[in-house]
Structure 1
Amino acid sequence: MSVGALNSKAPNSLEEVSKSSHYSNGKFHNTSNKTVEFKWSNLANYAKEYYKHRAVETEPKTKIPVQAILTENILSASEDTIWRLGHSTLLLKISGQLILIDPVFSDRASPFSFIGPKRFHQPPISIEDLPPLDAVLISHNHYDHLDKQSIKQLAHKVTNFVVPLGNKNDLIAWGVSDERITELDWWESIRIDEVHVVSTPAQHFSGRGLSDRDKSLWSSYVIKSNDTRVFFSGDTGYFNGFKEIGEKYGPFDLTLVETGAYHPSWATIHMLPEQSMQAHIDLQGRRMMPIHNGTFNLAMHSWQDPFEQITQLSQIHKVNVLTPKMGQPINIQGNEDTTRWWTDL
């Protein structure tokens, strides 16, 4: 494996954050003003709605199939390959570079170890067994995407951490050295040897506590080499940005699109399945992998609903949708099919 060569673009200070065109009045903002403004005062109403309308089977009754990943499997992969590790955590090998996205290896997507959404399955590989990584990409700072314990374990195993503006200080507090972190605004990019990583817009929000709402940015990512183009959505509502990203960087060999933890009242910040499908089409994707599902109970729908809905939509729109088992290797340039494994549970 070659060592990632990061460029020198690394805005890290409050001064740099304040220069962003998406930042004003002490907060980052979406390009659209239609997003739902979350208020802690409405939390009781959200909880009431959740318990009134949640589906019967929000968690699997039996174990989800997980295909174990061995270190040598990763090192020996000769094609551009992706492994889904759970929720929105993915491992990519592109042009020999190993890139881990939104690593969450903890048992709960929560600030606490004893309460909060608990994972349905264990990761197909441990952090200890991962080979040295060229880069970790973080989309935003919500607990199901930015996991403190995982970052602490990865701190000395990763050459480059790439985060949206305003997220650097958390990583430094968790043991990542300053020189290993690059913050990017939307449309800024870095090169990791032969791989080009572009921070692209998303329509979401950020915050890990009561007082940091939208103090840091949220992003999607384009990951491309001379031969391969991948898009990762992060968390987002549907917006015109997908068409712009598709026009600038498409077509994509594979889109990794949020399809899970949705509700009609949240659609401006979490896409409904039909919106996820439209995003893939806008992006000019060849194949689509629905993510943000299958690991945590974060919404009112059944845990299988994202898989069922996107599979049905794929037949209507004639889109090749990949639903691999956790840990199953997928050749990004390949044409293999995947199974409806969730129907056997």
Structure 2
Amino acid sequence: MIMKKKWRSLSDSAHYQRNKFLNLSATPVMAEGVSFSKLLFDYIRRPSSITPSHALPSVQTDLRALPGDAPVIVWFGHSSYLLHYRDTNILVDPVFSGHASPLPGMIKAFAGTGTYGVTDMPPLDYLLLSHNHYDHLDKKTIAALQPHTGACYVPLGVGRDIGSPAATDLRITEMDWWETVQLPPDMQLTATPARHFSGRGLRRATSLWASYVLQMPGYTIFIGGDSGYDTHFRDIGEKYGPFDLAILECGQYNASWPYIHMFPEQTLQAAEDLQAKALLPVHWGKFALANHPWNEPIRRLTSAASGSGITVTTPLIGEPVVLGHSYPQQQWWEF
């Protein structure tokens, strides 16, 4: 039986001041001079190209029979993916409810992206969440995964968004930036900074947002979460790099919010700062949260990365990436 515990005090964090969490650099959510009326006008005039004209293709993979001699990553669209190595399964930011909003009728997943769900997941050793936004923390999905999940690691304060210790059987550990935990049998997880914000409803910055460094025998992976570009990527690269793989956001950017999400060229720069050998771009290919064409992020990134020396892998939903062995690069988004 798991003993219940109280949540950690938010005020213990050096990043928590005046009842909210802060980024390392000043980070306004919107660019200077951007008004709510402009955002509303731009939203009303969103082009049809923000969603695909066809259902997205996918690959059906038996997630319970993945090879274990090297780390395997299977992407499910947007920022949800499974990490498998040896006998350990880690699921990151799963959103399988078909929408990324408090109401099912809003921000619906693209056609073809719902081919994987809770019942397809193998038994999970660890669930990892980067922050509490609806496109990363889906309470319905987490509740369904709970009986088959060993433990959950989240940024400081995010445990409260999942449920109180008395209301859930999920063993949740909250982490501040630069804190490290051991993941049995032989892995190490460190919460690292990101440049973003949090919020469910009207309240913002009441829980932390994070990236992670996952160290395992012979490999190091960067799990980026959501982040605007800043110097923290170089700091993390100098401390923990080089990385065998960086999993970084690439999508949902806009000139009206340039500090909280990266443009594709900045995603490449972040991978270079991290000293990454390979880059898996995520945060695209499932939800339209910005006004750019749905496949513009991956077009811009792959164009920028040509000749960079970094391997950019672009798997279909469900197509395994195997470190050191297989880095799918099919341009499947070109209909």
Evaluate the alpha carbon distance shift between residue 261 and residue 150 of structure 1 in structure 2; reply closer, same or farther with a 3 A threshold: same
Offset at 1:130?
1.5
When the two structures are superposed, what TM-score results if normalisation uses the length of structure 1? 0.90
Q: 1:60 aligns with which of 52, 56, 64?
A: 52
Query: Alignment partner of 1:49: what SS?
Result: helix
Q: When the two structures are aligned, how many residues end up with a matched partner?
A: 332
Alignment of 1:70-109 (within 5 A): 70-74=62-66, 76-109=67-100
Q: Is the 8 A contact 2:29 2:260 kept in 1?
A: yes
Among all aligned residue pairs of Structure 1 and Structure 2, give the percentage whose two residues are the same amino acid: 38
Tell me, yes or no, if structure 1 residue 185 matches structure 2 residue 179.
no
Post-superposition Cα deviations, 1:284-326, rounded to whole Å, max 9, x if no partner, equal: 0000011000001111110110110011011042321000000
| C-alpha separation in 2, matches of 1:36 and 1:297 | 18
Query: Alignment partner of 1:197: what SS?
Result: strand
Q: 2:110 aligns with which of 119, 123, 144?
A: 119
Q: 2:133 aligns with which of 126, 139, 142?
A: 142
Aligned equivalent of 1:200: 192
Aligned equivalent of 1:4: none
AA in 2 matched with 1:234: G
Post-superposition Cα deviations, 1:108-159, rounded to whole Å, max 9, x if no partner, equal: 1010112334333334432123121010110000000000110110111111
Q: Is the 8 A contact 2:75 2:82 kept in 1?
A: yes
Is the deviation greater in 151-160 or in 165-174? 165-174
AA in 1 matched with 2:232: G
Alignment of 1:30-41 (within 5 A): 30-36=23-29
Evaluate the alpha carbon distance shift between residue 337 and residue 156 of structure 1 in structure 2; reply closer, same or farther with a 3 A threshold: closer
Is the deviation greater in 215-224 or in 188-197? 188-197
Q: 5+ unaligned residues in a row in structure 1: which ranges?
A: 1-7
Tell me, yes or no, if structure 1 residue 319 matches structure 2 residue 322.
no
Q: Is the 8 A contact 1:152 1:174 kept in 2?
A: no
Query: Alignment partner of 2:49: what SS?
Result: coil
Aligned equivalent of 1:48: 41
Query: Alignment partner of 2:90: what SS?
Result: strand
Aligned equivalent of 2:300: 309
AA in 2 matched with 1:60: P
Q: 2:7 aligns with which of 3, 13, 17?
A: 13
**Superposition RMSD in Å:** 2.4
When the two structures are superposed, what TM-score results if normalisation uses the length of structure 2? 0.92
Q: Which has the higher helix share?
A: 1
Q: 5+ unaligned residues in a row in structure 2: which ranges?
A: none
Aligned equivalent of 2:17: 24
Query: Alignment partner of 2:303: what SS?
Result: helix
